[in-house]
Amino acid sequence: MSENKRATKAIVPAAGNATRFLPSTKSVPKELFPVIDKPVLHHIVEEAAAAGLSDVLLVTARGKDALTDYFDARPDLEDALRRKGDDKRLQAVKQPEQLADITAIRQGGALGLGHAVGRGAHFVGDEPFAVLLGDEFCDIDDELLPQMIDLQSQTGGIVLALLEVPWDEVSRYGVASVNSTDNDDVVEVTGLVEKPARENAPSNLIVVGRYILPGTIFPEIDRTEPGRGGEIGLTEAMDAMRENGTPVHGVVFKGRRYDTGEPVGYLKTLVELAAQRDDLRSFRTWLRDFSAELDD
Ligand code: G1P
């Protein structure tokens, strides 16, 4: 096992149909929905790049070529902005292609998260790597990924990000049973279950969409039988590795997670990030007045 090797590559599964946002997602992938002036996927790749993950594989689907277009150069637009002397916008247009080396592969069917990650086997080889789900992101300042990558290079196993949520939300997620360790921020994972009924959930610690995995996950994904909906689960493959002796740890995340995968989470993300921006101070003022009216 590559105990001291650090993850430098990331897989971003982004092949879903995003039915919760239909009809918008008929032609605009949800990963390109704007979070103010950058799409969701830009925030995700920024988070990866800030953690040293500068090689990124997007797992996409038919009709989602706009995802890769976003990270490509736009010489026509760049020339127009250069002629106008609009340096600020020119830099903004060039930023996506400068963030990371982007590669794309199509999933070839909605066959589950495990299957999507498995499409990255050749891209990754047998190194440890990160998975960042394409519809959520964290504040870069919280340094979640760097902490996870450090821990994975020490254990050589699986490192997950866990978040405590209200009990009525657990059935929407992968849920971990855990033992504490000497480090307050780190737990040992003793079991994983995907979307349990609330009464069967072993805890209210959910798996958020950030994983550091060893390359040995790929043969395990190949061995994983399709479950509900004919989908191959990543949670099931990880739990099988755990049962066979791979160490699994969770970093308990205390920072802010932005979940743009469903309408209310997307709206909260927009409002929260807009309210933090100095250049949008007038929005904050408006929001304060608007919320006061709501309370009436
Ligand atoms: C996926 C994972 C789940 C995880 C969740 C985080 O579920 O399967 O274990 O907790 O992402 O967002 P999905 O949102 O694809 O249903």
pLDDT recorded at residue 1? 46
Mean pLDDT (whole number) for 131-151:
95
Mean pLDDT (whole number) for 82-97:
96
Look at residue 234 and tell me if it is in a domain. yes
What Cα–Cα distance (Å) separates residue 205 from each residue in 151, 164, 197, 268?
A: 19, 5, 14, 21
Look at ligand 1, atom 1, and give the residue with the nearest C-alpha: 173
Residues 92 and 119 in one domain: yes
Look at residue 178 and tell me if it is in a domain. no
Cα of 173 vs centre of ligand 1, distance in Å, is 5
Give dist(CA 126, CA 209) in Å, integer: 21
- pLDDT reading at 295 higher than 80: no
Residues 157 and 270 in one domain: no
Residues 157 and 271 in one domain: no
Residues 46 and 116 in one domain: yes
Dmax of the chain from CA atoms? 63
Cα of 210 vs centre of ligand 1, distance in Å, is 10
Q: Quote the domain boundaries for residue 48.
A: 9-161+207-246
Look at residue 177 and tell me if it is in a domain. no
Give per-residue pLDDT as tens, 180-204. 999 999 999 999 999 999 999 999 9
Which protein residues are within 6 Å of ligand 1, measured from CB?
Answer: 113, 133, 136, 173-174, 194, 206-209, 235, 261
pLDDT recorded at residue 267? 97
Cα of 168 vs centre of ligand 1, distance in Å, is 16
Look at residue 125 and tell me if it is in a domain. yes
Query: In this structure, is the dihedral angle defined by the CA atoms of residues 7, 144, 205 and 273, taken in order, positive or negative?
Result: negative
pLDDT recorded at residue 294? 87
Look at residue 195 and tell me if it is in a domain. no
Mean pLDDT (whole number) for 268-273:
97
Cα–Cα nearest to 126, from 8, 214, 11, 240: 214
Look at ligand 1, atom 13, and give the residue with the nearest C-alpha: 173
Residues 242 and 270 in one domain: no
Look at residue 202 and tell me if it is in a domain. no
Which of 117, 171, 195, 207 maximizes ligand 1 atoms within 8 Å of its Cβ, making it the mutation to test the pocket? 207
Residues 241 and 271 in one domain: no
Q: What is the CATH number of the domain that holds 118?
A: 3.90.550.10
- pLDDT reading at 13 higher than 70: yes
Mean pLDDT (whole number) for 137-165:
96
Residue spans of alpha helices (H) in the chain: 40-50, 66-70, 75-84, 87-99, 113-118, 121-124, 144-155, 217-223, 234-243, 263-276, 281-295
Cα of 291 vs centre of ligand 1, distance in Å, is 32
Q: How many CB atoms lie within 10 A of CB 127?
A: 13
Residues 30 and 113 in one domain: yes
Report the percentage of the chain scoring pLDDT > 90: 95
Mean pLDDT of the chain: 95
Look at ligand 1, atom 9, and give the residue with the nearest C-alpha: 174
Residues 92 and 156 in one domain: yes
Give per-residue pLDDT as tens, 215-258. 999 999 999 999 988 999 999 999 999 999 999 999 999 999 99
Q: How many structural domains comprise the chain?
A: 2
Cα of 40 vs centre of ligand 1, distance in Å, is 17
Residues 270 and 152 in one domain: no
Residues 281 and 240 in one domain: no
Mean pLDDT (whole number) for 137-157:
95
pLDDT recorded at residue 2? 46
DSSP 52-113: T--EEEEEE-TT-THHHHHTS--HHHHHHHHHHT-HHHHHHHHHHHHH-EEEEEE--S---H
Residues 147 and 286 in one domain: no
pLDDT recorded at residue 228? 85
pLDDT recorded at residue 262? 93
Look at residue 259 and tell me if it is in a domain. no
Residues 22 and 99 in one domain: yes
